[in-house]
Amino acid sequence: MRNTKNNRPIGVFDSGVGGLSVLIELEKILPRENFVFLADQLHVPYGEKSKSELVGLAYRIVDFFINKHDAKMVVIACNTSTCYSIDALRRKYSLPIIGTVPAVKPASEKTKSGAIAVISTPATSKSRVLKKLIEDNCWGMEVFNVGCKNLENAVEKGNIDNPRVHILLKKYLKKIKNSKIDYLVLGCTHYPFLKKSIRKYVKPPVKLLDGGFSIAKRVGFLLKTNFLKTGKKTKGKTLYLTTGNSAKFSKVAGKLLNKTIKSKTVKI
């Protein structure tokens, strides 16, 4: 009975396709788990919304995961939503909720030059959470905190290497071009899909760092300690959902994941 109960899915959500970069890592580390991925594309971009809007949307999504899919755990695959809504979610719900925050701590531990940069959405860039991460982990270091308007939207449309993306990247990354940073933190889950394009402006030895792997490891640890790990011996399944246009989502997600994706439109 316990194993059957533990076959319940893990809910993973983002404002759009960016959270797929986290899902990739989750599926790698936890191949037997079932996932429900929800892209809240009706309300994208999250990076330009208020705290009250973000908390309200997060409540609706977690309710959806619990009521419609009996989720055993929720992963917020969105830095902006985590920064503004995770505390409220943890107060309201009893199931484990794992967030996504910019990988400032690991970057601060790895840096040799004493200088790092963080690129994120405007909302994450201005958030109290990011400010505290920097204050707590980067004492005495030089930190470039760069908010990137419209970059999230570009990835949403599947534009990861077109002229518009390069105009935006050139604009935002010029702020760190002549700095001594050795780590660039990708503080939005959409941005790992831009690594190839980012590399045209940020050359080695600067390393690119995102939180996907660490989140997946944390989820695995919490599944074990909360006795929620699936008892299945077969490969898990992932259900793809969007609050927007399912045909558009499937096309872009398929391009980013390099496989055929079938999704369904839902209301939250």
> For residue range 165-199, what is the model confidence (pLDDT) as tens digits?
999 999 999 989 889 999 999 999 999 999 999 99
Residues 137 and 193 in one domain: yes
In this structure, the answer to whether residues 179 and 137 fall within a common structural domain is yes
Based on the domain organization, do 8 and 81 belong to the same domain?
Answer: yes
Instruction: Tell me, yes or no, whether 245 and 206 share the same domain.
Output: no
Q: Based on the fold, state whether residues 202 and 219 are members of the same structural domain.
A: no
Does 244 lie in the same domain as 203?
A: no
Q: Are 139 and 261 members of one domain?
A: no
Is residue 79 marked as binding? yes
Ligand-binding site membership of 80 (annotated): yes
What digits encode the pLDDT tens for the residues 113-151?
Answer: 999 999 998 888 998 989 999 999 999 999 999 999 999
Domain count, the chain: 2
Q: Structural domain of residue 205, as residue ranges?
A: 104-210
Contact 226, 96 (CB under 8 A): yes
The CATH code of the domain that includes 222 is: 3.40.50.1860
| Catalytically active residues, by annotation | 78, 188
User: Is cis: bond before 122, omega within 30 of 0?
Assistant: no
On average, the pLDDT of the chain sits at 93
Distances (CA, A) of 197 to 42, 90, 187, 203: 27, 36, 16, 11
Between CA 125 and CA 104 the distance in angstroms is: 12
Q: Determine whether the annotation assigns residue 47 to a binding site.
A: yes
Counts of helices then strands in the chain (DSSP H, E): 12, 10
Residue 220 and residue 199 share a domain: no
Distances (CA, A) of 104 to 34, 40, 83: 30, 26, 13
**Whole-number pLDDT of residue 88:** 96
